[in-house]
Amino acid sequence: MKKIVQNILLVTALFTAAASCKKTVEPVINNPGNPSVEKPFPIQLNKEGNAVNVNYNTDGSIQSLITSDANGNILVNYIFSYENGKLKEVNFGGKWKYTYTGNQLTRIESFNQQGQNRYTYDFVYNGDKVLQKTEYYSSTMTPRFKTTYTYRADGNIEKCGIQQYINSAWEMSEEVIFNEYDQHVNVSDAFESYPYLPPAMFSVNNPIKETWSASGVLEQTVDHVYTYDQKGRPKTKKSTFKSPGFPDTFSEIKILY
């Protein structure tokens, strides 16, 4: 269930705004046409043999994300389009459509390659922080999952409660506690969530330890170990997944700037 819920979380962090947990400490915006201006976010992430290459517009916004396999074959090309400075759509055969209330992202609609609207994600805020995300089947707007967020004093996500809609009622499925964070800027979470969410919607710092439980029973702990470049940005993220009664599993992300 954890993997299913991870996709539904759109977080590791809930987005700073998604929590936003937005601690505004935005790095300098990159201008790809000027090599002396530094990119605030990765140009490539490598995980489990696949690479995600990030291409930027001259204003620092993302132009495309291209996912390739170990042989360089393109698996998915995500093309970003904007309107009035806000992300409007991401096209990849299917598409994600973004809707705002003022400056806050309040809805994402997910369409398949046939143009059918399959899933809808709605976000509820308190100030600049997302308190709740609900996923629906778009055809009937029947709920699927609901995630509620609480925050630490530093603005990072403290806890996510995940409920599943079963037999016309909400049932608690899992709880995720983010036990500890580092003090370095989080640059990778936005590239690990689908649908894509802007970086400002994730916790500002990188989680070091997570605890997953269901009905009060421990399901899994996740420990993350990072290395950093001279500017304090994560270069690698090594994760260890520990579930009672099962062998540990591991993953590693390498980040290029």
Q: What confidence tens digit (pLDDT) does each residue in 30-79 have? A: 333 333 334 457 999 999 899 999 999 999 899 999 999 999 999 999 99
Token look-up 């990765």 returns 42
pLDDT of residue 193: 84
Q: What is the pLDDT of residues 224-257, one digit of tens each?
A: 999 999 999 999 999 999 999 999 999 999 999 9
Is the confidence at residue 8, as pLDDT, over 80?
no
Helices (H), 174-247: none
Looking at domain 2-24+38-256, which CATH architecture does it have?
Beta Barrel (2.40)
Phi, psi of 6 (to 5 degrees): -60, -40
pLDDT of residue 40: 54
What are the structure tokens assigned to 164, written together? Answer: 């599943």
Q: Closest Cα partner for 176 from 222, 149, 211, 221?
A: 211
Is the confidence at residue 209, as pLDDT, over 70?
yes
**Please, are residues 39 and 257 in contact by the beta-carbon 8 Å criterion?**
yes
- Secondary structure E strands in 36-91: 44-47, 50-56, 62-68, 74-83, 86-91
How far is residue 19 from each of residues 25, 49, 105, measured CA to CA in Å? 15, 30, 11
pLDDT of residue 225: 98
Domain boundaries, the chain: 2-24+38-256
Q: What is the pLDDT of residues 211-223, one digit of tens each?
A: 999 988 999 999 9
